[in-house]
Structure 1
């Protein structure tokens, strides 16, 4: 009797179980993430079994595309009618599975290499108001070393629109004559972004009064932002710092490092900045990515008009 019959599972199901163990042990995924992967892959193996596919090598690109189409198809037509976001997550799950199978030698080529996820609807960035940003920065005020560092970090994020990963990767030498900061963005592309006077003052206070003390505890890291033990401030730590300050500010909304990036761009557009200038400051490869902030500004104008004009309704 074959091992497949003895186990009661197909060869494909066994590979999926190996992959899930890999995600648990080697990738350390959370229980919620693992549950989502399992749900997606259970649907995939069930779909393939109904097509008579029980071996990894039997899966073709047509099968993977048909699976995605089935997820989106209306229930009246036998599909699951999932949202684009859920279908996109499932597409990501099966692509990861196929890469695993190729790496493990279970298949000779990846049947999902050209698989495309459904296009998600545009989501407008969530930006803080100018007053909310001020409340956030006020909550970061203080004279102890960590407070001075944290204020400098937040001022820089809002002044430059830098991603949090870009901010924590800055070196001291990337601050140019107090007026500019040299940011290394995606794809290794550098951009020079101006620093306003508030960010300059906060950075000066940190560089003069705090960073030398932190650096003396470490091994001489060139990074601009350091932890209390002298090591580079991590992206995760910076995110936690921002969240803690946001909680103190009692803004009543979720605030992430990217919120400050969105706020930076939105406030520039509302102030009349040209979209091409904002594109350069954000480091976007395409202006179409930046143009979403035009929509944000238009929505704000529409809301203000509807509230203020006597014949708007």
Structure 2
């Protein structure tokens, strides 16, 4: 089992170019599938459709969400396709496997004024404790405050994913055209424009903030932690949650800013396919979710404001 899992992991990582999150999730799913088969005396080469269905039924019985079951179906399909190709299985038992229809949940979005307030909140006072737990820097404004504002500006202005943000290098910033070169899922590259507020935040970070934090470990990373290494995703999420938490409700994370950016673009009249390109969605159906968000918000305003609603 260990050899098969290792080979499958390499396939996901190097051939399919899946993200580390996807690699961990799919590998964990397949490990569970193989263990389920082994407990019933079924070797990997003899896994069939009935066993796959029994495995999924067991996950449902244990209370797995529909989204989790859908991912496990995808994991099983990917694994079986690879296993047939590499001679681990003689035939693919997953071709007739069906995933449950996912429940589409409308994402939480900020109002434009809430997004602006969150970005302003990221620029904490110079004597505030840094968001990533280091010692307060001297001088005004603090390098970490400048960096935190860039994090909020780029996530909201560009609608990029937090992993894409943390993976940015200095060479990915085209300051003349105000465009970022972003490497998204599947190592697909796209160009994303950013606005003038983000341009000013980047200028201050690159000229004032980053030089104070940079070390030999910084290499070409655009955004840095307090020790000079590349900013990691957990810290970026912490920055966003701190900035969007107003004490009146739950804060949102980086993906909430991405949802907000997409919604505000559509509400401002942007074409759906343009938003699809900006977000890096492979399917237009994924982007269409944001049209439902806009309709729901329109209905909510109508119900509240119209005398005959």
Above 0.5 in TM-score?
A: yes
- Could you tell me how far apart the structure 2 residues matched to 1:154 and 1:293 are? 20
Q: Which position in structure 1 is the counterpart of 2:198?
A: 199
The verdict on how the C-alpha distance between 1:205 and 1:57 changes in structure 2, with shifts beyond 3 A counting, is closer
Offset, 1:123: 2.0
Offset, 1:245: 2.8
Offset, 1:151: 0.7
Offset, 1:113: 4.7
Offset, 1:206: 0.7
Q: Which runs of 4+ in 1 moved over 6 A?
A: 40-43, 79-82, 92-99
Partner-residue secondary structure (3-state), 1:139: helix
Offset, 1:96: 10
- Could you tell me how far apart the structure 2 residues matched to 1:150 and 1:66 are? 47
In structure 1, list runs of 5 or more residues that go unmatched: 1-14, 20-32, 74-78
Query: In the TM superposition, what whole-angstrom CA distance separates every residue of 1:214-269 from its partner, at most 9, and x where no partner exists?
Result: 22x2345111111222211112221222223334x335124111111111000111
Aligned CA-pair RMSD: 4.1
- Could you tell me how far apart the structure 2 residues matched to 1:188 and 1:308 are? 46
The verdict on how the C-alpha distance between 1:299 and 1:226 changes in structure 2, with shifts beyond 3 A counting, is same
Pair 1:279 & 2:276 matched: yes
Pair 1:117 & 2:116 matched: no
Offset, 1:70: 4.8
Partner-residue secondary structure (3-state), 1:279: helix
Q: Which position in structure 1 is the counterpart of 2:239?
A: 241
In structure 2, list runs of 5 or more residues that go unmatched: 6-24, 125-140
Query: In the TM superposition, what whole-angstrom CA distance separates every residue of 1:137-182 from its partner, at most 9, and x where no partner exists?
Result: 1221132111111111111111100111111111112221162222
Q: Which position in structure 1 is the counterpart of 2:152?
A: 154
Highest CA radius of gyration, 1 or 2? 1
Q: Which position in structure 2 is the counterpart of 1:137?
A: 119
Query: In the TM superposition, what whole-angstrom CA distance separates every residue of 1:35-61 from its partner, at most 9, and x where no partner exists?
Result: x98xx8799569x85xxxx33368542
- Could you tell me how far apart the structure 2 residues matched to 1:166 and 1:86 are? 24
The verdict on how the C-alpha distance between 1:232 and 1:83 changes in structure 2, with shifts beyond 3 A counting, is closer
Offset, 1:66: 3.7
Q: Is this contact kept in 1: 2:166–2:233, CA < 8 A?
A: yes
- Could you tell me how far apart the structure 2 residues matched to 1:72 and 1:141 are? 45
- Could you tell me how far apart the structure 2 residues matched to 1:232 and 1:137 are? 21
The verdict on how the C-alpha distance between 1:44 and 1:140 changes in structure 2, with shifts beyond 3 A counting, is same
Q: TM-score, normalised by structure 1?
A: 0.70
> For 1:196-275, what aligned pairs fall within 5 Å after superposition?
196-215=195-214, 217-247=215-245, 249-250=246-247, 252-275=249-272
Q: Is this contact kept in 1: 2:210–2:224, CA < 8 A?
A: yes
The verdict on how the C-alpha distance between 1:156 and 1:131 changes in structure 2, with shifts beyond 3 A counting, is same
The verdict on how the C-alpha distance between 1:251 and 1:198 changes in structure 2, with shifts beyond 3 A counting, is farther
Q: Is this contact kept in 2: 1:163–1:258, CA < 8 A?
A: yes
